[in-house]
Amino acid sequence: MMAADCQHCRHYYITWDKIQPHGCKAFSFKSREIPGRVVERNSSGKPCQLFVKKETPPSSAR
């Protein structure tokens, strides 16, 4: 299975920690690798069930 695309998830964030630069607010952890991979590996191979697509702000028309 494929890990969730964390960069497009509203729970994903970049940390200031050089050793653990990826974070997941939904699961409250930081990691060296993309959180979706960690979740998939540690949950019997199932992809992240808390993925929520980020809202994209409307583009301003000029």
pLDDT digit string, tens, across residues 2-52: 566 899 999 999 999 999 999 999 999 999 999 999 999 988 788 899 999
Predicted confidence at residue 2, as pLDDT, reads 56
Residue 7's CB is within 10 A of a number of other CB atoms, namely: 11
Burial 11-39 (b: 16+ CB within 10 A, else e): bbeeeeeeeeebbbebeeebbeebbbbbb
Residue 13 covered by a domain:
yes
Residue 34 covered by a domain:
yes
Q: Which domain holds residue 27?
A: 1-54
Residue 61 covered by a domain:
no
Q: How many domains are there within the chain?
A: 1
Predicted confidence at residue 56, as pLDDT, reads 80
How far apart are alpha carbons 12 and 53 in whole angstroms? Answer: 10
One-letter identity of residue 24: C
